[in-house]
Amino acid sequence: MADQGAARSFEVGTADQLLPGQRKLAFVDGQSIVLFNIEGSLHAIENSCPHNGASLAPGRLDGRVLSCPAHGLRFDLVTGRMPGGVGPCLKKHAVHCRDGKLVVVVEP
């Protein structure tokens, strides 16, 4: 029997589907997740603003800072925090490229 508390990995596409400057929406283990490639660095976040639950997928990206389209809250995709470090945080997921595939790791 598998350990229910263990992290699980999910393939969500190929690396060529997420080139620098692009984003990709994926559904992983019942969750909507947005992946970003910022200058070759991969990031994955839950597609839900921690303030009001709005979808973050269509948010404006300025460098590594994503703006929530609902209320304009800004989040640094590298840290998951709002600039200045005060306020709600994004739920981040580990993401990497393995054998040309994008892999998201979901913690319990």
Identify the bridge partners of residue 33 per DSSP, sorted by sequence position: 26, 46
Class of domain 8-106 as given by CATH:
mainly beta
For residue 70, the SS3 value is coil
pTM (two decimals): 0.90
Q: Is the dihedral of CA 71, 76, 81, 85 positive or negative?
A: negative
* 52-105 pLDDT tens trace: 999 999 999 999 999 999 999 999 999 999 998 889 999 999 999 999 999 999
Residue with tokens 């913690």: 107
Contacts of 104 by beta carbon, 8 Å cutoff, 6+ apart: 9, 10, 12, 26, 28, 33, 35, 44, 93, 94, 95
pLDDT digits (tens, 9 = 90+) for 2-48: 556 799 999 999 999 999 999 999 999 899 999 999 999 999 999 99
